[in-house]
Structure 1
Amino acid sequence: MDFINPHVVDLSRFQFAMTALYHFMFVPLTLGLTFLVAAIETVYVITGRRIYRDMAKFWGHLFAINFALGVATGLTMEFEFGTNWSMYSHFFGDMFGTPLAIEGLMAFFMESTFIGLMVFGWDRLSRPAHLAVTFLVAVGSNLSALWILIANAGMNVPTGTHFDPDTMRMQFDSFVELVFSEDAQAKFVHTSVAGYVCAAMLIMGISAFYLLRGRHRELALRSFRIATLFGLVSSVAVITLGDVLGRMDYAKQPTKIAAIEGLWHTSKPPYAPWAAFALPDDAKQENHLEIGVPFVLTPLITHSFDQPVTGMHELEDQAAPRIRSGIIAINALKRYGDSHSSTDLATFRAHEDDMGFGFLAMRHSPNQDTSAITEADLERVVKQTQPDILPNVFATFWAFRIMVALGGFFFIFFAFSTFFSLRNQLESNRWLLRIAVWAIPLPVMATEFGWVTAEAGRQPWTVFDRLPTFLSSSSHTVGYMTFSLIGFILLYSALIIAEFYLMFRYARRGPQDHTSHETPSTDPMLSGLHNAQGGRF
């Protein structure tokens, strides 16, 4: 394997992170709005009441705008694997590419085909037929997320696969194991219900805006109530599935959990404090200004009171023998590639599980060649490689806490909103409506920080314990990566501006069937906002 310029690796990572974060602004709303629209249309089909038809059409059009921008920002990401991550694509392409191919054939084509019928088929299809189309769009959108998260789960917890030393690729052992891995299923449900929270908050916020402005009152009240009930259930599911994922990471990715908790030394149960606030210092491997809550960490992570949580220093110590073993594996693999000796193959197989740690050691080896490591150099290389097993602790620690804090806020806000909505007291609690308007972007922010937690916490691996990130990228020049990065930022910024313009314009205009009932707002805050934005929401 060729050693890639570290600046190219950093630029490749930054470019993919930017495109992924841009794209992930649209995905959760797509996942959630489809089923919310389907639920509203179901009520229309059952009751035949026109108001629910208007609601389904209005929110369905917002979904269509968001879907179009999600597709535009998502397509380029798949090309990035081949252009910027060629080593990763060669090494893990079978495991990653197969779910993505199925996603395109089974899910993306399905939702793309039926979304046209959903948007334009209201007067051309019967009620049951149109409802079936809407549900097919919802199922297709969520199936798309399922296959993508199956591919992502294979990177985090490789399963149903083995490494072939003749092709230098990961090969399938069991497609069923990959699809039905616990990590994949938990990630899918957690991500999907997070999307439902995003959609619920969007509908509540726009509905609250109408109520504060005195517009579309009947539609807004009904939409708000459906969304807040949907959001309350979804927020509970997000918290529950988040705990399940934490337990899985504790078993499969202990470095991620230790970084999330800023835990440098193994905890001492049951007193072990949970760091509510800290400033992790990755260079000095310690926390500054830490505020801990005792007796919380152990039950939170282990669901027990007597099981310790391994700290990052101890995880580094545990990595030392794996690094030595991995160096043996890489050297045997190299000799096998030259001679195809059965003895070298047997040596590699004996140390194969630690191969990834041998790859990590390449960065500290003479000329990035582990075969050039002498006995005198071995301990130096091992010692320098040990800290490399840890992710960026500061980023992982704070991304997780921001996500959790927002999740707690959503649950409380949905609970209050449900209470006042069911008691028909929304319009008399205008503070709640104002919060709903300004809280629209917060669930999207929470999902973005959740993605950062998951992906930053997986580092330094693209395929956990198998392939390091610094060996995964393509051998481009710094100039090429800088040029393409600037191009992507400009393109995606234009797409986001288009998204915001279309969504705000359509939401401000509102459902056209109700324009005759509009009355001016008497709320000073909303009037000021309206005037400051030139009359645009």
Structure 2
Amino acid sequence: MIDMDVVALSRLQFALTAMYHFLFVPLTLGLSLIMAIMESVYVMTGRDIWRRMTLFWGTLFGINFAMGVATGIVMEFQFGMNWSYYSHYVGDIFGAPLAIEGLMAFFLEATFIGLFFFGWDRLSKLGHLTVTWLVALGANFSALWILIANGWMQYPVGATFNPDTMRMEIEDFIAVIFNPVAQAKFVHTVSAGYVTGAIFVMSVSAYFLLRGRHQAMARRSMAVASSFGLAAALSVVVLGDESGYVTTEHQKMKIAAMEGMWHTEDAPAPFTVFALPDQDSQSNRYEVQVPFALGLIATRSFSRELPGIIDLVDRAEDQVRSGLVGYQALLDLRADSENDAARELLAEHWADLGYALLLKRYREDILEASDEEIAQAALDTVPHIAPIFWSFRLMVALGFYFIAFFALAFWLSSRGAFERNRWFLHVALWSLPLPWLAVELGWFVAEYGRQPWIIEGVLPTFYAVSDLSVWDLVLTIAGFVTFYTLLAIVDVWLLLRYVRKGPSEPEPQQGSAATGNGPQGPGLRHATAAYKE
């Protein structure tokens, strides 16, 4: 029998390390493009202030990148340590995108980030700009391949089960790469990273303006971040809608859980703005709905129904029974590999085999499962509704806040009015944690919303764990929490140190202008320097 304490602790350990790692990923994505844009302006204009801006934000990028690498490596080892059956069952598929990510993206980014920091005096302006854009390209390629791997877990295309090896194997790698779920997740996730980078630049720049320091750099940084952030925030909402549409196509239970939709509604379904989901009674209390909105957004039609949770549970029960037929055929085939009838029967039902494995939580001999156990296994396909329901709504609310924030920032930037609106600078400063909250909520909805599956419809989460004891997991969780807490302290200390230090100052001018003597007095010298900036 499955030890559910081991499963719960394994999930907790991976969730802690994954969500901690993702504190660094979105800022890496956002800052990489922002510093590339700033260096592009430097190359086009020759103004040294843009070079100093690129170096300053690049230093913060480098700190964040190092922390992301340190925490990301641990996650990959966890697949073998905590999820050994998962690694055995789908390692050939899941490992391929991760290997390509290391070879194509991470090595590209890691190699050129050294040239970014140490190549300013060794490369031409155009050569160094190329390096900076390659760093940004590497960061985005890294996200692409990781999200291809994750997208396959959400929608396992291009692969089939081989009864001879008892593993999933790739049939069509192109289908894995162009998985619609993976592509939708990629564009939505990187756009969220761009918003994070833009908010970070806005917040730090607001801090400088409020303190009256590095004002020329801060104004220019806010101008770049406001326009870049507005485009990114609009993209997040638009591409989030596309991600939701794809989820409707391939993960119907997740959509129903996100919306707290217990019963199938007449098309087009209403969108529930507010409710208190009650999982025990399978109903919502105090619902506030917008008619037709969900159906139009999720299906893009007036006539297509969205199935409710209860109807999806009924479908899952049929799939459990179908999976049992496939399981019996698999046993027959294992006993006699030449049994063509069993092979054909398995081919018919293998897609539902994972649903039959849900019964392993209740009994070893699942072919003897009772009707009550089958019904319970089907009910297990429903995740906990309330956390998903409210996490999704808070994430969406933050997305619309970012649009309003950057639209206002763009308007103020166009009027050169940041310093005349100090209240906005305070808003920008205190908005710093919000994009991280939004991206963590997004990952929580994506991952928690597909439970009980580690691979949607194919492999239950509890079936994928390693043979570990509870104390193995308790001790390693304590170790990870301690180590990651120390890393967090170091990261925050380094970021604060370099933010307080600020960007490098321009070199003093030579001659009488540098001392303020002669015909160029202090006022004229400062005016000339400001004009050059």
Same fold by TM-score greater than 0.5: yes
Q: Which residue of 1 aligns with 2:169?
A: 171
Q: Which residue of 2 aligns with 1:88?
A: 86
Q: Which residue of 2 aligns with 1:416?
A: 408
Report if aligned partners of 2:2, 2:361 keep a CA contact under 8 Å in 1.
no
Tell me the amino acid that sits aligned with residue 274 of structure 2: F
User: When the two structures are aligned, how many residues end up with a matched partner?
Assistant: 507
The alpha carbon displacement at 1:289 in A equals 2.8
Q: Which residue of 1 aligns with 2:288?
A: 291
The alpha carbon displacement at 1:515 in A equals 11
Q: 1:488 and 2:480 equivalent?
A: yes
Tell me the amino acid that sits aligned with residue 170 of structure 1: M
Q: 1:405 and 2:397 equivalent?
A: yes
**What per-residue deviation string (whole Å, max 9, x for no partner) do you get for residues 280-329 of structure 1?**
22333222332222332221222223322110001111222111111111
Q: 1:368 and 2:364 equivalent?
A: yes
Q: Which residue of 2 aligns with 1:339?
A: 336
**Alpha-carbon distance between aligned partners in 1 of 2:280 and 2:222, rounded to the nearest angstrom:** 48
Q: 1:515 to 1:307 in 2, by over 3 A?
A: farther
Equivalent of 1:236, from 215, 234, 243?
234
**What per-residue deviation string (whole Å, max 9, x for no partner) do you get for residues 198-236 of structure 1?**
000000110111111111010000000000100000011
Give the secondary-structure state (helix, strand or coil) at the position aligned to 1:220: helix
**What per-residue deviation string (whole Å, max 9, x for no partner) do you get for residues 156-180 of structure 1?**
1111111101111110111111111
Q: 1:259 and 2:251 equivalent?
A: no
Tell me the amino acid that sits aligned with residue 465 of structure 1: G
**What per-residue deviation string (whole Å, max 9, x for no partner) do you get for residues 412-445 of structure 1?**
0000010011011111111111010011111111
**Alpha-carbon distance between aligned partners in 2 of 1:289 and 1:487, rounded to the nearest angstrom:** 43
**Alpha-carbon distance between aligned partners in 1 of 2:276 and 2:81, rounded to the nearest angstrom:** 37
The alpha carbon displacement at 1:79 in A equals 0.3
Give the secondary-structure state (helix, strand or coil) at the position aligned to 2:380: helix
Report if aligned partners of 1:4, 1:473 keep a CA contact under 8 Å in 2.
no
**Alpha-carbon distance between aligned partners in 2 of 1:338 and 1:7, rounded to the nearest angstrom:** 33
Tell me the amino acid that sits aligned with residue 216 of structure 2: E
Tell me the amino acid that sits aligned with residue 442 of structure 1: L
**Alpha-carbon distance between aligned partners in 2 of 1:369 and 1:135, rounded to the nearest angstrom:** 57
TM-score w.r.t. the length of structure 2 is 0.93
Report if aligned partners of 1:37, 1:56 keep a CA contact under 8 Å in 2.
yes
Report if aligned partners of 1:269, 1:307 keep a CA contact under 8 Å in 2.
yes
Equivalent of 1:56, from 38, 54, 57?
54
Report if aligned partners of 1:110, 1:137 keep a CA contact under 8 Å in 2.
yes
**Alpha-carbon distance between aligned partners in 1 of 2:217 and 2:202, rounded to the nearest angstrom:** 11
**Identity over aligned pairs, percent:** 49
The alpha carbon displacement at 1:380 in A equals 1.8
Q: 1:30 and 2:22 equivalent?
A: no
Tell me the amino acid that sits aligned with residue 257 of structure 2: A
**Alpha-carbon distance between aligned partners in 1 of 2:286 and 2:89, rounded to the nearest angstrom:** 42
**Alpha-carbon distance between aligned partners in 1 of 2:95 and 2:56, rounded to the nearest angstrom:** 36
Q: Which residue of 2 aligns with 1:446?
A: 438
The alpha carbon displacement at 1:330 in A equals 1.4
Report if aligned partners of 2:105, 2:141 keep a CA contact under 8 Å in 1.
yes
Equivalent of 2:218, from 199, 217, 220?
220
Q: Which residue of 1 aligns with 2:201?
A: 203
Give the secondary-structure state (helix, strand or coil) at the position aligned to 1:305: coil
Q: Which residue of 1 aligns with 2:467?
A: 475
The alpha carbon displacement at 1:57 in A equals 0.5
Give the secondary-structure state (helix, strand or coil) at the position aligned to 1:368: coil
The alpha carbon displacement at 1:356 in A equals 1.0
**What per-residue deviation string (whole Å, max 9, x for no partner) do you get for residues 67-90 of structure 1?**
000000100000000010011111
Tell me the amino acid that sits aligned with residue 323 of structure 2: G
**What per-residue deviation string (whole Å, max 9, x for no partner) do you get for residues 238-272 of structure 1?**
111100011111110000000010100111234x4
More moved, 238-247 vs 305-314: 305-314
Report if aligned partners of 2:452, 2:460 keep a CA contact under 8 Å in 1.
yes
**Alpha-carbon distance between aligned partners in 2 of 1:303 and 1:161, rounded to the nearest angstrom:** 29
Q: Which residue of 1 aligns with 2:309?
A: 312
Q: Which residue of 2 aligns with 1:431?
A: 423
Give the secondary-structure state (helix, strand or coil) at the position aligned to 2:449: helix
Q: Which residue of 1 aligns with 2:513?
A: none
Give the secondary-structure state (helix, strand or coil) at the position aligned to 2:505: helix
Q: Which residue of 1 aligns with 2:77?
A: 79
Q: Which residue of 2 aligns with 1:280?
A: 277
More moved, 385-394 vs 98-107: 385-394
**Alpha-carbon distance between aligned partners in 2 of 1:120 and 1:224, rounded to the nearest angstrom:** 27
**Alpha-carbon distance between aligned partners in 2 of 1:49 and 1:109, rounded to the nearest angstrom:** 32
Gaps in structure 2 of 5+ consecutive residues? 509-533
**Alpha-carbon distance between aligned partners in 2 of 1:20 and 1:137, rounded to the nearest angstrom:** 23
Report if aligned partners of 1:216, 1:515 keep a CA contact under 8 Å in 2.
no
Give the secondary-structure state (helix, strand or coil) at the position aligned to 2:274: strand
Tell me the amino acid that sits aligned with residue 215 of structure 2: R
Equivalent of 2:98, from 97, 100, 117?
100
**Alpha-carbon distance between aligned partners in 1 of 2:133 and 2:292, rounded to the nearest angstrom:** 46
Report if aligned partners of 2:398, 2:434 keep a CA contact under 8 Å in 1.
yes
Tell me the amino acid that sits aligned with residue 260 of structure 2: G
Gaps in structure 1 of 5+ consecutive residues? 517-537
Equivalent of 2:247, from 240, 246, 249?
249
The alpha carbon displacement at 1:396 in A equals 1.3
Report if aligned partners of 2:184, 2:246 keep a CA contact under 8 Å in 1.
no
Q: 1:497 and 2:476 equivalent?
A: no
Give the secondary-structure state (helix, strand or coil) at the position aligned to 2:467: coil
**Alpha-carbon distance between aligned partners in 2 of 1:456 and 1:144, rounded to the nearest angstrom:** 23
**What per-residue deviation string (whole Å, max 9, x for no partner) do you get for residues 139-192 of structure 1?**
111111110000011111111111101111110111111111222222111111
Tell me the amino acid that sits aligned with residue 474 of structure 2: T
**Alpha-carbon distance between aligned partners in 1 of 2:7 and 2:459, rounded to the nearest angstrom:** 14
Give the secondary-structure state (helix, strand or coil) at the position aligned to 1:268: coil
Tell me the amino acid that sits aligned with residue 358 of structure 1: A
Report if aligned partners of 1:327, 1:361 keep a CA contact under 8 Å in 2.
no
Report if aligned partners of 2:83, 2:464 keep a CA contact under 8 Å in 1.
yes
- Cα root mean square deviation, aligned: 1.4
The alpha carbon displacement at 1:361 in A equals 2.3
Tell me the amino acid that sits aligned with residue 334 of structure 2: G
**Alpha-carbon distance between aligned partners in 1 of 2:257 and 2:230, rounded to the nearest angstrom:** 30
The alpha carbon displacement at 1:514 in A equals 6.2
**Alpha-carbon distance between aligned partners in 2 of 1:222 and 1:357, rounded to the nearest angstrom:** 56
**Alpha-carbon distance between aligned partners in 2 of 1:515 and 1:263, rounded to the nearest angstrom:** 63
Report if aligned partners of 1:280, 1:393 keep a CA contact under 8 Å in 2.
yes
**Alpha-carbon distance between aligned partners in 2 of 1:387 and 1:286, rounded to the nearest angstrom:** 15
TM-score w.r.t. the length of structure 1 is 0.92
Report if aligned partners of 1:37, 1:59 keep a CA contact under 8 Å in 2.
yes
**What per-residue deviation string (whole Å, max 9, x for no partner) do you get for residues 114-163 of structure 1?**
11110122122111111111111111111111100000111111111111
Q: Which residue of 2 aligns with 1:388?
A: 380
